[in-house]
Amino acid sequence: MKSNYIFITLIIFILSSCKNQEKENFKNEEIRSPNVLFILADDFGLKDMSFVGSSYYETPNIDRLASRSMVFNQGYAGSRVCSPSRATIMTGKFTARHGITNWIGEKSGEDWRSMKRHDKLLPAEYVHSLPKKDITIAEALQNNGYTTFFAGKWHLGDEGSYPEDHGFEYNIGGWDKGSPMGGYFSPFGNPKLKDKVNGENLSIRLSKETNDFISTYRDSTFFAFLSFYAVHGPIETTQEKWNKYREKAVSQNIADQGFKMEKKLPIRITQDNPVYAGLVETMDEAIGMVLDKLDELGLDDNTIIIFTSDNGGVSSADSFSTSNLPFRGGKGYHWEGGIKEPFMIYVPGHTNKGKKSEYPVTGADFYPTILDYANIELMPNQHKDGISLKGLINENSNMPERSLFWHYPHYGNQGGDPSSVIRKGNWKLIHYYEENTNELYNLIEDPFEKQNLATSKPELAESLSKELMNWLIKVDARFPEIDKNFNADNRAMYDNKIRKELLINLEKERLELLDLNYEPSQDWWGSKITKD
């Protein structure tokens, strides 16, 4: 009898141990840190996607990701231009706090006079590389067991401040340049990206490199940052895609007018550029390649996917590529077209697939959100301006009202003026440094910023302006200064030349791009060359 009792007790113990082990395994599986794929487009506007309403561009893979993600309709970049916005993603800080307030390499102070634009102010100085004192999101994840990978555009400092100097174990194509120096077809002219096949497409190549990394480290926990050079100028595509979108533009009836004058520069008001459309489609195809690889490897159920852009679409200067209408402005501008972005987060298993959120969010929020999902303790002393969106995504939790800040004490190449911005609740105030004036908009009632309420609501404008300035002073922001050499007559001559010559030339070039005989080069930027 005693031996039977011992035997039964032993069986019960074994079964109980197995059950407890199963619970422990389930628990470990439940808290397993997810992989993270961060996809960052360059100069890609909110209205450049078909699911948002573009009838010209085709983005089926971005649309597919959006259908699985929470889409933030009030999603903002950290800045109106690239380097500051990218630094905000990496640090979780607004631009005035981390100090990179302009694209790295642009002139400032008295050197600005060499641009011969005859502006009233001398732009502020700014930080020229990602500060070493900051712990980047890559470093935070690497310190917690993630394998980290970067592919594509960096533009956050010269040698010594490359991706591998800020937490990325692998770097393919990231260096100090902000545009594809060799264009979008190999040879790329990039010391961090080895040429393989002449004519290879840059966006496709970056996705292939990302897929190779994912395949290699599929059994580890990884952070892959795919940072496209697309759709930054110079805009290029294949003859086949140009032909497709030229025919599409014709079928949609080519508008008589493609540009109008903004305050200082012409701005594009139509989406009918077939070269840009082809560039957009190729980037979308490259995104589809990575999404398909995750599905193929069975990693989609444990990989968070983020997609956003670093600033608004280029509607003025550069390649005058796209229109952000009905949003006002574009890259380089302080209005919504310059800072409102594609902003979507896919979290495996969440119940809010395809749901739209109207809560205002910013590039600074990615850092704490990623940490939160990775089960890593938040670092509020680092990501000082970002908050975790996990509760909102998973549970539709109520989020606190907060103030968002933008600081750009520079002149944009696209026509924007030195200004700072605060958004609080439904209200957005823009402060201009040239004339020390404000604009005030109710973004719920007037999302396209047509009615300036600064005069009719002076108390609110004053309150927001005061909060903005107090915050800027608190974080030691730098400000532009009056140029004592400013000459109003020289400026008037400069403006007159732009109105008389540039606007006319842009309309001419627009029609040339749509002409049947258009051919930029014999091999369409090398895209027809497939071997040495």
Structural domain boundaries in the chain: 33-396+488-513
Strand partners, 440: 429
pLDDT at residue number 513: 94
CB 310 within 8 A of CB 77: yes
352/501 Cα distance (integer angstroms): 51
Which tens digit of pLDDT belongs to each residue from 182-196?
Answer: 999 999 999 999 999
Is this model's pTM higher than 0.75 or not? Answer: yes
pLDDT at residue number 531: 38
CB 123 within 8 A of CB 102: yes
Considering the four listed CATH numbers 3.40.190.10, 3.40.720.10, 3.40.50.2000, 3.40.30.10, the one that applies to the domain covering 33-396+488-513 is 3.40.720.10
Distance, C-alpha 201 to centroid of its chain: 21
- Contacts of residues 147-150 at CB distance under 8 Å and 24 or more positions apart, as own/partner, are 147/217, 147/220, 147/221, 147/222, 147/223, 148/222, 148/223, 148/225, 149/210, 149/213, 149/217, 149/222, 149/223, 149/224, 149/225, 150/174, 150/225, 150/227
421/138 Cα distance (integer angstroms): 28
Which tens digit of pLDDT belongs to each residue from 509-526?
Answer: 999 999 999 988 877 776
Distance, C-alpha 119 to centroid of its chain: 28
What lies within 8 Å, CB to CB, of 203 at 6+ separation is 184, 228, 229, 230, 282, 283, 285, 286
DSSP alpha helices (H): ranges in 328-457?
336-339, 366-373, 390-395
Distance, C-alpha 284 to centroid of its chain: 15
CB 419 within 8 A of CB 479: no
What lies within 8 Å, CB to CB, of 427 at 6+ separation is 440, 441, 442, 443, 460, 464
Residue reference for tokens 């993603």:
89
DSSP3 helix / strand / coil % (the chain, rounded to 5): 35, 15, 50
End-to-end CA distance of the chain, in Å?
Answer: 85
pLDDT at residue number 134: 98
Low-confidence residues in the chain, pLDDT < 50: 1-30, 530-532
493/84 Cα distance (integer angstroms): 32
pLDDT at residue number 353: 77
Q: What angle do CA 136, 141, 147 make, to 5 degrees?
A: 115
Least Cα distance to 263 among 387, 437, 105, 145 occurs for: 437
Measured CA to CA in angstroms, residue 505 lies from 191, 346, 500 at distances of 35, 43, 9
CB 73 within 8 A of CB 54: no
Q: How many CB atoms lie within 10 A of CB 142?
A: 18
Distance, C-alpha 358 to centroid of its chain: 19
CB 402 within 8 A of CB 158: no
Q: Which residues of 382-407 are buried (b: 16+ CB within 10 A; e: fewer)?
A: bbbbbbbbbebbbeeeeeeeeebbbb
Residue reference for tokens 């609110």:
460
**Which token pair is 346?**
């896919």
pLDDT at residue number 396: 74
